Structure 1
Amino acid sequence: MDCRNQRAKVRIERIKNNGGSHTSAEWKLLLAKSPTCAVCRRSWAEVPLRPDPRYKNTWTKGHKLPIYHGGSDGLSNIQAECYECNFQKNAGALGGRPIETCDPVLKLNGAISVAISQERISRKFCFVLNNETKIFPVQIKNRDTGVIAFRISLGGSGGNTRAASEEVDESTMTRKVLEKGYAVRCKSLDGKTNGLYKKGHRSVREVRLNII
């Protein structure tokens, strides 16, 4: 069995264990309502053609919370993503193996595209800094449990350490950060700015809601 088939077998087993399902009709309806990639927001026509000519479409079926990290296969966890974003997001799940030895489809524009991090962001809101940089709440993976969540805290001497913080889902994080003054770890989309931020932070100019 080649490595592509082996990966597919492992993925099928993970999907089964994670639970959730959706029909082909549900996916086609979702795709029809998705004119752009859910991650990079490019239209399908703006995405370069896939390097493997066997694949004609630039869109793929993606999971908001990756299957590798326990995400379900339910429709609420499904979104339309361009193949570049999808492959970049999931490259880390290959366990660090050189992609070129496994699947040439994952070679993008002649280069190996490997995600540096599996961190995920929330687009429920963003902080706009004084220098115009937009930063988004970012999920943290608990090294002990493997759970991925937003780590929030009230700040102070404990900062955002695990001992002084809570690990919560997106809706709880949004409510506590925006309504109760909690701090959350954030980063910019280019990864150049990251840190612990909250409303009223001296470098935060404004909060923008529901960023697309």
Structure 2
Amino acid sequence: MNNTAESRLSMRLKLTHKSGEHLYPVKMKNRQTGKIAFRVSENGNKLADCIEVECEQTMLDYVVKKGFSVRARTLPNAKKREGLYGIDKNSIVSYQLT
């Protein structure tokens, strides 16, 4: 797998922020373990609150079916916005699953 910032994005889930920007789940590198995975969280914004998920489909299940939030960001060529976002949270107005 290519390890560029864009290759770590999941293009299967597009979150629309209230600003109109589109965000995509992103795999993050755990500095302690070196593991690269999506980070999902039911509550909390710290690494200790997150579950690291390597499988894209599993991440989608957590976010869409279980209501978890996921680390997401804009595309590299867009205005930078990143953070923990969920489909039922205040800042996300809609989502598209492909």
Residues 119 and 140 in structure 1, CA contact (< 8 A), matched pair in contact too: no
Cα distance between partner residues in 2 of 1:119 and 1:197? 19
1:161 is matched with 46
2:9 is matched with 121
Instruction: Report the alpha carbon displacement of residue 129 of structure 1 after superposing the two structures with TM.
Output: 1.4
Instruction: Report the alpha carbon displacement of residue 130 of structure 1 after superposing the two structures with TM.
Output: 1.9
Runs of 4+ in 1 over 6 A off after TM superposition: none
2:65 to 175, 179, 182: 179
Cα distance between partner residues in 2 of 1:198 and 1:121? 16
Instruction: Report the alpha carbon displacement of residue 160 of structure 1 after superposing the two structures with TM.
Output: 2.9
Residue 204 (structure 1) aligned with residue 89 (structure 2): no
1:147 to 13, 30, 35: 35
Aligned-residue sequence identity (percent) comes to 36
Instruction: Report the alpha carbon displacement of residue 148 of structure 1 after superposing the two structures with TM.
Output: 0.5
Residues 186 and 195 in structure 1, CA contact (< 8 A), matched pair in contact too: yes
CA deviation vs aligned residue, 1:134-187 (integer Å, no higher than 9, x gap):
0000111011221100011102xxx23221111002111110100000011110
Instruction: Report the alpha carbon displacement of residue 131 of structure 1 after superposing the two structures with TM.
Output: 2.1
Cα distance between partner residues in 2 of 1:118 and 1:126? 14
TM-score (norm 1): 0.42
RMSD (Å) for aligned C-alpha atoms: 1.8
Cα distance between partner residues in 2 of 1:197 and 1:136? 10
CA deviation vs aligned residue, 1:115-139 (integer Å, no higher than 9, x gap):
xx57711011111112221000011
The amino acid that maps onto 2:19 is N
Q: Which has the larger radius of gyration?
A: 1
Q: Which gives a bigger RCO, structure 1 or 2 (Cα 8 Å, sep 6+)?
A: 2
**Which structure shows the bigger proportion of residues in helix conformation?**
1
Structure 2 regions of 5+ residues with no counterpart? none
Structure 1 regions of 5+ residues with no counterpart? 1-64, 70-88, 90-116
